[in-house]
Amino acid sequence: MQLYIWRHNRKFHSWSMFGEPCVHQSMYTDAVAIIAAESAEQALQLLAGSGQGWLPEELARLTPTVLPLTQPAVVFQEVRCE
């Protein structure tokens, strides 16, 4: 089992970034998904089945951070200065 962490920030999104993924159906600025699964494919399936507006085909375009659940690790940190 591993943790799969996807994060996508659209704070500086502009029309010049047409090819940039859109990972959620909402008009988000920052989207974070953390899923415990056996594989990235399983993690994306779990997100797709959650009914929370995630777009797994777009998330698949990003490389997640992967953390094994067999050792201590910092899972998430965030500092926002807006």
Per domain, the residue ranges of the chain are: 2-68
- What tens digit of pLDDT does each residue of 20-66 get? 788 888 888 889 999 999 999 999 999 999 999 999 999 999 999 99
Closest C-alpha to 58, from 7, 4, 21:
21
Entry pTM: 0.81
Tokens of 37: 């699964």
Residue type, 60: A
Strands (E) located in 12-77: 30-37, 65-68
Residues sharing a CB contact under 8 Å with residue 54, sequence separation 6 or more, in sequence order: 23, 24, 25, 33, 47, 48
pLDDT band for 82, please (50, 70, 90 cuts): low
Query: Cα separation of 56 and 42, whole Å?
Result: 11
